[in-house]
Chain A
Amino acid sequence: MQECIDIFNTFAGCLTASGADPGLAQFLSILLGVVLVAMGPLVIVIFLIWVERKYAARVQDRLGPNRVGPFGLLQTFADALKLITKEDITPAGADKLIYNLAPIISVVSVILIWAVVPISPLHIGADLSIGALYFVAVGSIGTLAIMMAGWSSNNKYALLGAFRVVAQLVSYEVPLVFSLLVPVMFAGTMSMQGIVEAQLGMWFIVFSPLAALIFFISTQAETGRAPFDLIEAESELVAGYNIEYSGMKFGLFFAGEFLHVFTNALIFAILFTGGWLGPFVYQVPALGIIYLFAKGSIFYLLSLHLRNTLPRIRIDQLMSFNWKFLVPVSIANLILVAFLWKVIQLIGLLPGPENASDFLAHLPAAIIMLVGNLALTVVVLQMLRNVGRRAVAANAVSTPANAELDDQPYSLPVPH
């Protein structure tokens, strides 16, 4: 039987055996690995664009792409060809260097995340000991790309879009990190592979559904998708930061955004629903790829569905929703989860390493965590309800005819 440690070492061994310098062989094999990891997402995005367009079309009672190839599958290739052959326009007064650099950084910031995505027990770009932190760090570079694009375009709409980006993305990073801390705390490691393996007995979404929900909402906002698509609100900013871009440079922003949504869905699947874990995955590691992509696709489709069915919220609602709701709730959740987790550890309900894959052994701990989370959810909902009631009452007294909604952060319909 052929021994397989990982693709780098095997390939490097082969190269050395055929007469290459060992250092060079290792360099070439790592380069091959980097290229493989970076090319994967770029291939996937071709298919993702088709999925997204088809799904949006179905929601809007249209057919979507259906001319090029079977089910319109080759539409993206036709679009890519069109984008490449289009005239490449740089607006007058634009800062050329930054203008051309921005779309590249935008895509690269997403592709870099794939380095720490574990796609099977054996396959991961680099199992960094700080994988979760790396995900956050690299994600913050995307903000920079949008800022650069907005500023260098020499266009007021682009600049307005960029201003909104800073407000939105930097704000939503806070609940994102707080909810990311929860699975890291459960697993006791920031390594992505370690987080997946810690979910052998029980998925983390059972331990803390609230953290999972906050993470999902934050990633939706980080990718700038509806209801948080204020950074490129067509009706207000024309297209926001990428208004001046044309041809393949626009295509890069476009592809980067689509890829970011799917990447975040995969990260969600890894952090909360066990990533590549599934039946027989240790016997046939390749199955892990299927499990991971199946789980990721569910959250991806959920994200698409939200995007296509929800209206856009206002910028002040966006900020109050984050700072007055998501951030306090995520901090409260983090404290509660940390406390309960420590209690469970102290009273010895947590199964040891010998039965880490035993579902039943995790059940008592899971029930306590779940009840704690649900109690917090009930408290939060009750508080929201009170705020909403007060807002409705104040509104009814002050301006009965011309309802002014500005003072109501949570102006959702509230049952009386």
Chain B
Amino acid sequence: MEFNIHSIVFLIFSVITLGGGLGTVTSRNLIHGAVYLIVSLFGVAGLFILLSAPFLAAIQVLVYIGAIAILIIFAVMLTRSMTRMTEIYNRQWSLSLVVSALLFVLLLVGIILPVWGPGTANAALQPSELVATTVDLGVAFVDGNQFVLPFEVASLLLTAAMIGAIVIARDRD
């Protein structure tokens, strides 16, 4: 593996992402956990930039750091005794162990084996010929031959979620 600026930056962002993730699950202070989560999400945004996907990186910062992480912090602030956790594990640890093990296997089978698994060791990885810009992404979302249906379904889902939230929060009169 050759060392250039690109791989050093990749290393830095990977450490940020993994370190943040580790901090998230090990800190006993939930606010610290949320801040570590932000660090980890920020590292992912950096990885998106390395992959020449600036749009995804900006959306990562906007949606995950700017909205979801703030929502998480807000929820934690409204929770009692959030900073004095005496135990790392709660009663659901066995269930979460199963889920995370399943997810790990899924990632291993779905992504890592086809690329680095046996039989693919000698085949050189071909970088994609397709160079997509933000304009291409925008066109792909509304083009009838590409992703207009998933895009609209996702929009509908989000709208339904929003209306649901309004209905729950509304005063009954």
Contacts and interface: CB of A to CB of B under 8 A. Distances in A.
A143 B70 contact: yes
24 contacts: A27-B5, A95-B29, A95-B83, A98-B31, A98-B32, A129-B54, A130-B55, A130-B58, A130-B134, A133-B55, A137-B58, A138-B61, A140-B61, A140-B65, A140-B66, A141-B65, A144-B65, A144-B66, A144-B73, A147-B73, A148-B35, A151-B31, A163-B77, A170-B70
A166 interface: yes
B66 A137 contact: yes
B62 interface: yes
B47 interface: no
B67 A170 contact: yes
Nearest to A162: B77
Contacts of A162: 77
Contacts of A151: 31, 73, 77
Interface of B: 4-5, 29, 31-32, 35, 38, 54-55, 58-59, 61-62, 65-67, 69-70, 73-74, 77, 83, 133-134
Given A130-B134, A166-B74, A144 B38 contact: yes
Contact of B58 (A23, A134, A147, A170): A134
Contacts of B4: 23
What are the 3 tightest A-B residue pairs by CB atom distance, in nearest-first order?
A140-B66, A137-B62, A137-B61
A128 interface: yes
A166 B29 CA distance: 21
A394 interface: no
Contacts of A147: 70, 73-74
Contacts of B31: 95, 98, 151-152
Interface string A115-150: 000000000000011100110111011011001100
A305 B96 CA distance: 56
A170 B68 CA distance: 11
Contacts of A252: none
Interface string A84-120: 0000000000010110000000000000000000000
B47 to A, nearest CB: 16
Given A128-B54, A129-B54, A190-B134, A144 B77 contact: no
A257 B74 CA distance: 22
A141 to B, nearest CB: 7
Contacts of A23: 4-5
Contact of B62 (A136, A148, A152, A159): A136
Nearest to A27: B5
Interface of A: 23, 27, 95, 97-98, 128-130, 133-134, 136-138, 140-141, 143-144, 147-148, 151-152, 159, 162-163, 166, 170, 173, 190
Given A130-B58, A151-B31, 9 more contacts: A129-B134, A130-B55, A136-B58, A137-B61, A144-B65, A147-B70, A147-B74, A173-B66, A190-B134
B56 to A, nearest CB: 10
Contacts of B67: 140, 170
A128 B59 CA distance: 14
A144 B134 contact: no
A141 B61 contact: yes
B32 to A, nearest CB: 8
B69 A144 contact: yes
Contacts of B69: 144
B131 to A, nearest CB: 12
A140 B134 contact: no
Nearest to A148: B35
A141 B31 CA distance: 16
A144 B32 CA distance: 13
A133 B55 CA distance: 8
A80 B12 CA distance: 35
Contacts of B77: 151, 159, 162-163
A21 to B, nearest CB: 11
A40 B5 CA distance: 27
Contacts of A98: 31-32, 35
A42 B52 CA distance: 30
B66 A141 contact: yes
A173 B67 CA distance: 10
A147 B65 CA distance: 12
B26 to A, nearest CB: 15
Contacts of B54: 128-130, 134
A256 to B, nearest CB: 17
B167 to A, nearest CB: 16
B5 A140 contact: no
A296 to B, nearest CB: 23
A136 to B, nearest CB: 6
Contacts of B38: 144
B133 A133 contact: no
B70 A144 contact: yes
Contacts of B70: 140, 143-144, 147, 166, 170
